[in-house]
Structure 1
Amino acid sequence: MTDLGGLARPVATCDEAAEIAARLWGLTGPIVELGSQQDRNFRIDSPTGTVVVKLANAATARAELDAQHAALAVAAGAGLRVPGVVPALSGEAVETVELGGQRLLARVLTYVAGTPLLELDGFGVDRCRLLGRTAGALVAALAGFAHPGTERRSQWDLRLAGDVLTSLEPHLPAGVRDEVLAATVPASDRLRAVVESLPEQVIHGDLTDDNAVSDDEGTVGVIDFGDVMTSWRVAELAVTASSVLGKTGDDVTAVLAVVEAFAERAPLTDAELTALWPLVVLRTAVVVASSAEQVTLDGGNDYTQARQTDEVRAFERAAALDLEEMTWLVRASGQPLTTPRLPRLVHSALTPLDLSTTSPLLDAGAWLDPDIERRLLRPGTVTRYGEYRLTRAIPLARRNTARVLALGVQVALPIGTRLDAVPAGVLVDGVDEDGTTVEPVITIQVSALPGRPPAYVTPHAAQVWRRLSPDPSPLLGLDVAVPEPDPERLLARRDAYFATVQEHYFDAPPQIERGWREHLVDTRAQVYVDVLNNVATTGHAHPALTAAAARQWSLLNTNSRFHYGAAVELSERLANLAPDGLDQVFLVNSGSEAVDLALRLATTATGRPRILAAREAYHGWTIGSDAVTTSLGDNPRALSTRPDWVELMDAPNAIRGTHRGPRAAAGYLADLDVQLAGLDTSHLAGVILEPIFGNGGGVLLPDGYLVGVYDRVRALGGVCISDEVQMGYGRLGHHFWGFEQQGAVPDIITVAKAMGNGQPLGAVITTRAIAEAFAAEGSFFSSAGGSPVSSAVGLAVLDVMASEHLQENAKTVGDALRSGLESLASTYDVIGAVHGLGLYLGVELVSDRETFAPATELTRLVCEAMLDEGCIVQPTGDYKNVLKIKPPLVLSAEAAQYVVNALDRVLRRLVLS
């Protein structure tokens, strides 16, 4: 089958093409080469107009060019903007030329002005429709056209796709070879069922967003008729639909827009629509194989090489979409639907059963029970139509791959219940021929097309599914339909009333309404690994915490000036977790409040106003905690707006800072000595440091640094504050507190986040002397700090951490996760470093490992792509180029490995070509 392979382009330069144009056509002017896979094309801006000189591949027959010219004439006659043939001086449309021992066919066409749709900004659904209409119009124009030159064997003829892939299989890139074979076998099988019913005609064969151009007035022109051939009519649509994959935020919506617009101009049969998606899969696979072979044949072809990455991505996107679902969606978008008549079918009284993301029936992980639907479907209950069922959600899976959207309903009835006659278009399972139920649960679904649509589908194109498989409520005499979730409208409401300076994650955030352990679930029952939430120490919705909070709410919740047991017990346990001598506890609401209080304790105890803090650190949002916060990622004006009582020292970053490497501490401490020598240290109250740079992505301090700073500050009469809000409380696995990693002991510890698992709760732990010195400013009081409910939750967190060995889990799973992330660095040069310890990690992405230049935009794209992989991760650091990885401490080894694999897939798509 070698005749179905590619051919190297003719060898020709711009000077040679210019000579041919001048000698045979009398055309002169500036000349540039245009891209082509197997031919040579040159644009000349001549005094009489812009033209394209085309040198055909040596294997091209004259009849093929004649067919192209005839097709151009037909298309032009139908009102389409296409190139025109420019006769040579001899009057011939085609001339034969000798060039470097090659005998080539040369011709000249008029240049169709405009920018390829591929290169225009804002490629959206409207442009998909425009492309689909253009393709449909061209197919309609060529419907009655015939020419002998269109009857040829070509690797682009989708009738031969199987043979082409067999021939070119050795050229497939190793990374996608197995994927191509796995995807094209079922596609070919599905196609085989309708192949005999597919009409044939002459088609353009390559009407893509690269061969459709738009001028300044928005008029579309079609170029490059080099693949004109006789093939299946629907093959034209397959080519066009393939070209929009990856061009918008929603491939399914984009493809269906192309199909609908195409069908308006060139109506298709049901068999053609059934064949379309298998042909899209085959087309994208052929393109990948052909380009790989072409690069082998013609290694200098920049045009082909530049497109390879996008072509592989288009194939991967096509293969990732469910073949059966896409076939049904295409059928529903490309032809009229018949709405069935829906008289009353079931006369029993029924109660709807909630199986959605927020259903209380699915609390405490019940949704993961594979038998939960059967157990909940008791006689007289009915499931809901159009519901995204949490019971069918799949953890550790790519977004929108689980079939969770219910297109029918299940009705639990006594066996022997008699139904009315089933009308056409209504599908009922579990009844005998006379309409009597023979199963305890029957299924009812409606279809607007012949056949049986899937009972459950992925969340793509919900509105199309609802038209294809309408609401069966009239059959039941009861409204069982669930409105489509609308996270976009909710986001608009948020932006209207929730001050937008309170940012949200992601460009188009999913609406998260449930959590369980290390998972988050949105309203479309899509499950994500929470790689971000260091607040949720014990995981989301832990039963012990919900029970503790509910019980305490049922008893009492008030402020800590009242005398009750929970605040006392929590304070005792915190003191026992701290180093000896730190046994006085203040309970507060948050980390910011804890830091603010710690600063006041330091200044009050010492009688001094000045605090030493590090650059690149984050400590909170209150006036006091913000004053010592210097993270540019959180506040671009941080360094220029610090108050006079804050003295900043260099960020001790041994990865990208002033001093680097394992012995960096000595350099930073020497710089600090110089800085302190220039200060009036009699005003120094103390120092506040994160024992690990949290917002820097978990960057460890250089060994010996923290002890060195503490020694210097204490020698000057100051106190040392360790801000443990982000990384303390067992998160590091190897240590309970961050300062333990450095072998240092502070005078004041601040902690929050992890203490309450999301409940407002924080603490300051210090010495008796420092605590009692605060009396000079009066008594301390925090209205909700240490409330009975918050304290009960705090105690439950400590109990769960102990009983489930969460610090040990942070160590073992965290070490494995870090090892997996480090292993990716051997493949991807963009990984400059992996920071952190336990389950406080960061992956720093750089554009250059030598200079450590931050890859900020890549990091943003990685986070968005990880969302599609079912992982929630966000950027951090002054340059927003570090993936912050701080999941709940219940993270499983399986979930950790899934995150590594997902990041591998994302970087392969975004980085490797």
Structure 2
Amino acid sequence: MMNGFDPSTVETLDPALRKLITRRANILGPSYRLFYEKPLHLVRGEGVWMFDPQGKRYLDVYNNVPAVGHCHPRVVSAIAEQASKLNTHTRYLHELILDYAEQLVATFPPELSNVMFTCTGSETNDLALRVARNATGGTGVIVTETAYHGITTAVAEISPSLGDFVSIGRDVRTIPAPATLHGSEVDVAARFAANVRAAADDLRRHGVQVAALVVDTVFSSDGVYTDPAGFLRPALDAIHEAGGLFIADEVQAGFGRVGETMWGFQRHGILPDLVVLGKPMGAGMPIAGLIAKEEVLLDFAAKARYFNTFGGNPVSCAAGLAVLNVIQDEQLMENADKVGRYMKEGLTSLATRYERIGEVRGAGLFIGVDLVTDRDTHNPDVNLATRIVNGLCDRGILIGASGPRGHVLKVRPPLPFSREHADIFLNALDDTLDEQLHASR
């Protein structure tokens, strides 16, 4: 795991932390992982800050789940109020579920008119594949080379980022992320669409009909690729020509994070057939959903029963509605655009002083900082990325890493992030880069 804790170093930690980690390992088993060389014990969150038991605060520049900030009072109040009244499933009538569904769908183009509720993004991507395969009669799926779309059996098979020991499905083809070729004038849109066509052709040669192209619209796991806006249009045309559907995975890009638009696909001026929503939807409550064109769902609904005991329950819908209202009332999409541009400018300025920053990419409050050994070869510098992430943690700043080798700093704070918070982060990154690069000389 990128930036993962190495359990063999547990004896170097202080006794209290060592005891907690040992207890966790004993009861949760070996599959669970922890972030950072020295794992964090966090007990409280407020806005863009998180706190450990000693009261040390950490600026959260990483977590997209609490999109409106940790423990937003309106979200907490909505959850508590509905939990004190009723929590049940969608086979009973309930106004709140419909209120939320109507307000949520209203943020999409009118063609995307139906929502099916689930509990997680993984579950939603699984459902999207079922719907797409039913609608097209195909089974083939095209994804990018370091994609992540979830952890169910079906979705793990289209998530190459899970590693070599998680097998890619036989009817799955991977294509390169839409990266610019450094120093090249090659058209990103044309190249990405050509790769989609080539993958579809290869599936057909093996007797497999294409069902879908599944795209995380900020390409988070691939290393963050958002520009130029519009580059996904030819890819949508390519998958439709091949008889497949375009599934926009908005778990990372959605709910105003990209700043200019509510949804990542809207930056590209395209209309997906299915849209997957997840983590930020309920600020930590288990709610996710599939937004669909009605005609894509009709045959599936006629043939297959769909029921989800917890998907769309009133308490989770209360959280979802509160999140949506906060984003709109507090103009958080506009804030993501404004502060994201400010932060990207600051990172680009740092790149003029540190040649190990190969490129700064992103939109709104989702930015990738590509670290390289040198700009001529653009070789990824995994070691430096790991040192930067942990060095920032020591300074009370939390970020992550992304990309095929974990060499891209992933900057993805909650949406209320301000210019003042951005300055704290930029100054800390400047200090950490200076410290780490000086130490390596």
TM-score (norm 1): 0.45
Are 2:53 and 1:523 equivalent residues in the alignment?
Answer: yes
SS at match of 2:173: strand
Measured after TM superposition, the shift of residue 664 of structure 1 is 2.5
Counterpart of 1:827 (choices 342, 353, 357) is 353
Match of 2:163 among 629, 632, 635: 635
Task: Return the alpha-carbon distance in structure 1 between the equivalents of residues 29 and 185 of structure 2.
Answer: 43
Task: Tell me the number of residue pairs that the alignment of Structure 1 and Structure 2 aligns.
Answer: 428
Over residues 171-200 of structure 1, what are the superposed CA-to-partner deviations in whole Å (9 max), with x where a residue is unaligned? Answer: xxxxxxxxxxxxxxxxxxxxxxxxxxxxxx
| Equivalent residue for 1:897, pick from 394, 398, 423 | 423
What residue is the counterpart of 1:665 in the other structure? 189
CA distance in 2, matches of 1:884, 1:674: 30
CA drift of 1:696 comes to 2.6
- The alpha-carbon distance between structure 1 residues 892 and 491, as it changes in their structure 2 partners (threshold 3 A), is same
Q: Which amino acid aligns with 1:628?
A: I
Residue 800 of structure 1: aligned partner: 326
How is 1:712-751 mapped onto 2 (pairs within 5 angstroms)?
A: 712-751=238-277
RMSD: 2.2
- Alignment-derived partner of residue 310 in structure 2: 784
Question: Residue type of the partner of 1:768?
Answer: E
Tell me what 1:813 maps to. 339
In the TM superposition, what is the alpha-carbon distance from 1:669 to its structure 2 partner?
2.8
Distance 1:879 1:661, change over 3 A: farther
Q: How does 1:441-520 map to 2 (within 5 A)?
A: 486-520=16-50
Q: Distance in 2 between matches of 1:762 and 1:587?
A: 6
**Paired residue type of 2:395:** E
Between the aligned partners of 1:881 and 1:836, the Cα distance in structure 2 is 15
Indicate the residue corresponding to 1:137 in structure 2.
none
Which residue pairs with 2:170 in the alignment? 644
1:550 maps to: 80
Quote the Cα distance in structure 2 between the aligned partners of 1:600 and 1:673. Answer: 22
**Structure 1 residue aligned with 2:66:** 536
Structure 1 residues 776 and 613: CA distance shift in structure 2, 3 A = farther
User: Deviations along 1:329-348, whole A, 9 cap, x unmatched?
Assistant: xxxxxxxxxxxxxxxxxxxx
AA aligned opposite 1:643: G
Conservation of the 8 A alpha-carbon contact between 1:698 and 1:837: no
Partner-residue secondary structure (3-state), 2:413: coil
Separation (CA, whole Å) in 2 of partners of 1:627 and 1:661: 34
What is the letter of the counterpart of residue 499 of structure 1?
G
AA aligned opposite 1:714: H
User: For the residues of structure 1 that align with 2:141 and 2:302, how far apart are their CA atoms?
Assistant: 19
Match of 2:92 among 552, 562, 570: 562
Distance in 1 separating the partners of 2:324 and 2:309: 23
Q: Corresponding residue for 2:292?
A: 766
Cα offset, 1:673, TM superposition: 3.5
Shift of 1:776: 4.4
Give the CA deviation at 1:622. 0.9
Contact 1:682 1:716 in 2 (8 A): no
Equivalent-residue separation in structure 1 for 2:101 and 2:275 (angstroms): 13
Q: Deviations along 1:717-764, whole A, 9 cap, x unmatched?
A: 321100001111100011111111211110100011111111111010
Length-normalised TM-score, structure 2? 0.92
Paired residue type of 2:193: L
Could you tell me which runs of 5 or more consecutive residues in structure 1 were left unpaired when the two chains were aligned: 1-123, 125-247, 251-484
Q: Distance between the aligned counterparts of 1:783 and 1:655, measured in 2?
A: 47
TM superposition shift of 1:830: 1.0
Tell me if structure 2 keeps the 8 A contact 1:517–1:542: yes
Q: Does 1:866 align with 2:392?
A: yes
What displacement does 1:637 show? 3.9
Tell me the residue number matched to 2:133: 603
Structure 1 residues 198-209: aligned runs within 5 Å: none
Is residue 614 from structure 1 mapped to residue 149 from structure 2 by the alignment? no
Q: 1:554 to 1:821 in 2, by over 3 A?
A: same
* C-alpha separation in 1, matches of 2:323 and 2:303: 33
Give 3-state SS (helix, strand or coil) of 1:616's partner. coil
C-alpha displacement at 1:571, in angstroms?
A: 1.1
1:829-887 Cα offsets, whole Å, 9 max, x none, are: 11111111100111111112111111111111111110111101122221011111111
Amino acid at match of 2:104: L
Q: Find the residue that maps to 1:848 and give its secondary structure.
A: coil
Preserved CA contact (<8 Å) 1:724 1:749: yes
Contact 2:214 2:249 in 1 (8 A): yes
State the distance in 1 between where 2:21 and 2:308 align: 33
How far has the Cα of 1:678 moved from its partner?
4.4
Q: Structure 2: how far apart are the matches of 1:671 and 1:725?
A: 24
Summarize the Cα distance change of 1:857–1:645 in structure 2 as closer, same or farther, 3 Å threshold.
same
Offset of residue 548 of structure 1? 0.4
Output the CA distance in 2 between the equivalents of 1:877 and 1:650: 12
Q: Max radius of gyration: which structure?
A: 1
Residue 527 (structure 1) shift: 0.3
Matched, 1:594 2:144: no
In 1, distance between residues paired with 2:184 and 2:157?
A: 27
Any idea what the Cα deviations from partners look like across 1:779-799, whole Å, max 9, x if unmatched?
A: 211111111100000000011
Match of 1:402 in 2: none
- Matched position secondary structure for 2:353: coil
Q: 1:685 to 1:676 in 2, by over 3 A?
A: closer
Partner of 2:3: none
Aligned-pair identity (%): 35
Structure 2 distance, partners of 1:685, 1:855, is: 37
Instruction: Indicate yes or no: 2:427 matched with 1:906.
Output: no
Q: CA separation in 2, counterparts of 1:840 and 1:674?
A: 30
Would the alpha carbon gap of residues 682 and 873 (structure 1) be closer, same or farther in structure 2, given more than 3 Å must change? closer
- The structure-2 alpha-carbon separation of the partners of 1:647 and 1:585, relative to structure 1 and needing over 3 Å to count, comes to same
CA–CA distance in structure 2, aligned partners of residues 792 and 678 of structure 1: 45
Counterpart of 1:669, as a letter, is: A
Paired with 1:249 and 1:556, the residues of 2 have a C-alpha distance of 45
Alignment CA distance shift 1:876-1:677 (3 Å): closer
SS at match of 2:45: strand
Higher relative contact order (CA 8 A, sep 6+): 2
